Structure 1
Amino acid sequence: MTDTMPDTMIDIDNLSVTFHRGRKPVKAVNGVSLKVRAGEVVALLGESGSGKSVTMRSLLRMHPKGTTIEGSMSVAGRDVTGLSTRDLGNLRGVVVSMVFQEPRLALDPVYTLGRQIEETIMRHERVSRAQAAARALALFEKVRIPSPQRRLQNYPHEMSGGMLQRAMIAMALACNPKVLLADEPTTALDATVQIQILLLIRELQKEYGLSVIFVTHDIGVAAEVADRIAVMYAGRIVEEGTASDIIRNPKHPYTKGLLGARVELADGRDRLITIPGAPPDLADMPPGCAFAPRCADVMAPCRAVVPPLVGAAGTSERAGQVACLLYD
C-alpha cells in the first residue's frame, strides 16, 4: 500500500501563541492562518518581532514550557497540536525538518558532523552504522561540500559559516522529510555565500519536492526563493499573495515600506526610504491597526478597528489578501 500525501502539506488555522514570562503575557502570534501546498515555497516576511519564527516553530512545538497555543496546525494531514511527546519526536526530522539561522548553536560542538548525521538517521530508521555513514557521505556530496569524506570528520568549529550551513541542510534532509522549515538560514552569511545557499535550497526543494516555509526579513530574499509571500507585522499576517504580486503590486503600506527600503532600489540622488517609528510592544498593543502609528496613509478608523485579512483586487489567479482599511 502506498501512502498518498495530501495536497495541503501545512495547514495553520487561527493560530495564536502567548508567552507567559515577565509581568504581562506576550501574544507573539495572533490569529494566523496559512496553507502551504505540496511542493510549494512560502516566505514569512517581516521585521524582528513580527511573529514569523514563532509561527514556524509552532509547527514543531518548539516553545518554552507554559506557552499557550490556540488554534489548530496540521502537517501532512497530522494534527500537530494533539501529538504526544513520542509522536512529536517521530515527526521531527522524518516529516518535518528545520534549518536554523545559526548552525553553530544548533549543532553539537563535541561530536563530528558525520557522527551527528549518522545518529539522526539511526534514531529514526533501522540501519547499520555503515549504512548511515554512507548516506551521510552522499548527503555531503549532494550539498556540494568539498572533500566530503574528510569533512565528515570535522567538528562544527572547524567549518566556515557557509560550509556549516550546507552541513545543516544535509542533516535536515537526512531522513527524507516532506516539509522543510528554514529560519533565516542566510542571515549570518556574506552576500556571495548567501546567494549560493539560496540557490542550493531552491534546487534541493525542487529535486525532493519539498514544501518549504522560509522565514526572512529581506524582501529580496523572499522574492528570490518563494512562490508565495506572507507579510507579518506584530503577530498578524497583513498581506499574502504570490511573490510576483507582492513585489510588483504591494497593497499594504507596510509591504510598500519594506520594498521602498531596499538599498538596490534607491536612486543615487534620493535618500533611502525608511519606515518611521518602531514595531509595537506585543505586551501592550495599541487599539486598532498595529501599523497605524507608523503608517503614512492612516485614517481615523485605523486607530480603532483591527482590519481583517480580505481578498485584494488586482492580483493574479491565486487571490491575494490584505489587512488594511484602504481595501475594506
Structure 2
Amino acid sequence: MSEALVDIRNLQVTFAGSGAAGQPVRAVSDVSLSVQRGEVLALIGESGSGKSVTLRTLLKLHPERRTTITGQVQVAGTDVLALKGRALADYRGKTTAMIFQEPLLALDPVYTVGAQITEAIRRHEPGVSAAQAQARALALFEQVRIPSPERRLAAYPHEMSGGMRQRAMIALALACRPQLLLADEPTTALDATVQIQVLLLLRELQQQLGLGVIFVTHDIGAAVEVADRIAVMYAGRIVEEGTVRQLIRSPRHPYTQALLASRQHGAMVRGQRLPTLGGSPPDLAALPPGCAFAARCPLAQSRCLEALPPDVPLAPGHVARCHRTDATGAESFVTLPAASLE
C-alpha cells in the first residue's frame, strides 16, 4: 500500500480547565486513523464525541495555551504538530483546506466572496496576478455550479442563500488545490434537498480532483452517501472502523448498531416506536476506567466497567473496540437492511 496521505497515531487532545469544576477535559483519547489519497473517510458520532476536535487538530486550530496535544499527526509527509508561523500559514489552505459547518460565520462579512477567494489564491501563489486570480475564482464558481458566477463573485456572504454560501465555501477550500479536504458537518444547516445537492457535489469534486477527504457528520445516512470508510467515535475514541459495507451490513459495536437503528425509518411499521438509546454521553472531564459506553450499553458486563476494551480485528479493515464483539446475534438494536446499500 502506498504511503497514507493522513497518518494519525495515538492522538490525545486535552483542554485545560474546561470541565464543570475546572478539571481538564480529554476530548480525544488515543485516536489512530489513516486516509489514503483519493479516499473519503467519514467520522460519525453524537455531538461531543470528538469528531470536530480531531478535524481541527489537522489544521492546528486549537488555542495553544489551553490545549495539550500528544501523538503524531502527519499530512502528506508533514509533521503538522511541529508547524509554526509562516510554515503553518503556508500549510493551511495549500496542503489542507476546510469546509466549515456554517459558512456565514466562516466567511468575512465585510469583503465580497470573490475578494476572499482571490486573496487566498494570491497569498499561496505570489506569482499569480489579480486578473489571473479573478479568472480562477470565476472558474471555481462555475465548477461548484453557482448560477450567474460573475455576479455572485461581487456578492457579500449575507447576500447569498445558505446552499449558495456553502458552495462558495467549497470553492474557497479548493482555491489553492489542496491535497486534503476537511468537511465539518457541511450540510447540517441546509434543508434536505440542498443537503443532497451539496453531498453529491462534494463526492463528484473529490473524484474529479483525487482529493483525500475527512467528512465529519452525526448523520450516518450522509456518511453512506459520500464515504469509502467510516470511523465511529464515542467519548473521544474510535469504537469501530471499516468500509461502508462492513459497518452497514455487519456492525459489531453496540453504539454503531444504535446509530443505525436511529435511521431505521423505512423499515418501521405503523405504531412501532423508533428505537432510542437511553442515558447521556459521559463527562469527558471524568471518564470511567472502562468502556465509556458501558453505562448505556444493554450488553455491558462487569469487565466493560473495569477495563478499556481492546481493538478487535473482525475482517480486513474492520475493527471494533468492544469486549462483546462475540454478541453478534444479540437483538439489542435493529440494523439497516442490506438492501439499503443498493
TM-score range relative to shorter protein = over 0.9
Matched, 1:64 2:63: yes
Counterpart in the other structure of 1:287: 289
Separation in 1, partners of 2:317, 2:140: 38
Q: Secondary structure of the equivalent of 1:27?
A: strand
Contact 1:40 1:227 in 2 (8 A): yes
Q: What's 1:3 paired with?
A: none
Please name the residue that 1:246 is paired with: 247
Name the counterpart of 1:109: 109
Structure-to-structure mapping, 1:145-156, within 5 angstroms: 145-156=146-157
Q: Which is worse superposed, 66-75 or 263-272?
A: 263-272
Aligned to 1:311: 313
**1:266·1:272 contact (CA, 8 Å) conserved in 2?**
no
Q: Is 1:16 equivalent to 2:15 in the alignment?
A: no
Distance 1:266 1:294, change over 3 A: farther
Per-residue CA shift, 1:109-154, capped at 9, x if unaligned? Answer: 0000000000000101021111100000000000000000000000
For residue 300 of structure 1, report the CA deviation from its aligned partner.
1.1
Cα deviation for residue 310 of structure 1 reads 2.3
In structure 2, C-alpha distance between the alignment counterparts of 1:309 and 1:90, rounded to whole Å: 36
Q: Which residue of 1 aligns with 2:336?
A: none
AA aligned to 1:307 is P
Q: What residue in structure 2 maps to residue 182 of structure 1?
A: 183
Give 1:157's aligned residue: 158
1:210 equivalenced with 2:211 (yes/no):
yes
Question: Could you say which residue in structure 2 is the equivalent of 1:122?
Answer: 122
Which residue matches 2:88?
88
The list of structure 1 runs, each at least 4 consecutive aligned residues, that deviate by more than 3 angstroms after superposition, is none
Distance in 2 separating the partners of 1:324 and 1:95: 35
1:18/1:69 contact within 8 Å kept: yes
Give distance in 2, aligned partners of 1:156 and 1:54.
26
- Give the SS at the match of 2:154: coil
Q: Deviations over 1:19-41 (max 9, x none)?
A: 00341000000000000001000
Q: What is the Cα deviation at residue 327 of structure 1?
A: 2.9
Q: Which residue of 2 aligns with 1:237?
A: 238
The sequence identity of aligned pairs, in percent, is: 64
1:97 partnered with 2:97: yes
Q: How does 1:19-34 map to 2 (within 5 A)?
A: 19-22=15-18, 23-34=22-33
Cα distance in 2 between the residues matched to 1:208 and 1:108: 27
Query: Which letter does structure 1 place at the counterpart of 2:57?
Result: S
- Given the alignment of the two structures, is residue 302 of structure 1 paired with residue 304 of structure 2, yes or no? yes
C-alpha distance in structure 2 between counterparts of 1:263 and 1:246, whole Å: 15
In structure 2, distance between residues paired with 1:143 and 1:302? 47
Structure 2, gaps ≥5 residues long: 327-342
Structure 1 residue matching 2:43: 3-state secondary structure: strand
User: How many angstroms apart in 1 are the aligned matches of 2:305 and 2:267?
Assistant: 31
Q: Which moved more, 1:63-72 or 1:228-237?
A: 63-72
Q: CA RMSD in A?
A: 1.1
Separation in 2, partners of 1:271, 1:177: 45
Q: Can you list the C-alpha shifts for 1:71-93, whole angstroms capped at 9, x where unaligned?
A: 00000011111112211110111
Letter in 1 for 2:274: L
Q: Map Cα deviations across residues 230-249 of structure 1 (whole Å, 9 max, x no partner).
A: 00000000000001110111
SS of the aligned residue for 1:93 comes to helix
Residue matched to 1:227 = 228
Deviation at 1:263, TM superposition (A): 5.0
**Structure 1 partner of 2:332:** none
Report the counterpart of residue 172 of structure 1 in structure 2.
173
Matched letter for residue 145 of structure 1: I
Distance in 2 (alpha carbons) for counterparts of 1:185 and 1:308: 32
